[in-house]
Amino acid sequence: MVRQEITEKLRNIIEPYARDQEALASMNEETSFVDDLDINSANLVDIIIDVEAAFDIEIDDDAAEEMLTVRQAVAIIESQIAKGVRTETA
């Protein structure tokens, strides 16, 4: 899966949680989930769960804490896909 596909899939996951739809429309790699999209910490947990399900990966707590921008999220997703780290049910 290429970076652009991951980013688009991520955008679709984030969309229901983003309070700033204008920022979502102009989302780029530097976009911060909290500062730019106005996503609260509880919803960040939901996003991580949704990302795990959508990409069939598992994100550990350390990686989850680093997932604050689009760039970081895509890098973590790419890393987990490359490692072949799948969820328990896969």
DSSP the chain: --HHHHHHHHHHHHTTT-S-HHHHHT--TT-BTTTTT---HHHHHHHHHHHHHHHT----HHHHHH--BHHHHHHHHHHHHHHT---TT-
In the chain, where the domains are located = 3-83
Full-model pTM: 0.88
- 40-73, pLDDT tens digit by residue? 999 999 999 999 999 999 999 999 999 999 999 9
- 25-45, pLDDT tens digit by residue? 999 999 999 999 999 999 999
Architecture of domain 3-83: Orthogonal Bundle (1.10)
